Amino acid sequence: MARKSTTGTTKEKSSSSKASQRSSSQKDLSEEVRKVAYGLYEKRGCTPGRDLDDWLEAEKQIKKRIKA
C-alpha cells in the first residue's frame, strides 16, 4: 500500500499562515493611512480635491513614525 507524504502539507500551512498575517498587516496599515488622511482632510476644513495629497502625506507620516 502506498504511503502519503505529509511534509508538503506542513509547508503549505506555514506559507499560508504567513500570507494571512501579511494580508492582515496590510489591511491594518491601509486602515491607519485612511484614518490619518481623513484627519488631514478635516484639518484642511474638509475642502475636496486633495484626497491623493492627503493619502500620500498620511503614508509619509506613518512611515516616519514606524522608522522612529
Q: 29 pLDDT exceeds 90?
A: yes
8 Å CB contact between 36 and 61:
yes
Answering whether pTM is above 0.75, one says no
pLDDT at position 48 is: 96
d(CA 1, CA 53): 65
Which amino acid does the sequence have at 27?
A: K
d(CA 52, CA 6): 48
pLDDT at position 9 is: 55
DSSP for 3-46, please give it. Answer: ----HHHHHHHHHHHHHHHHHHHHHHHHHHHHHHHHHHHHHTTS
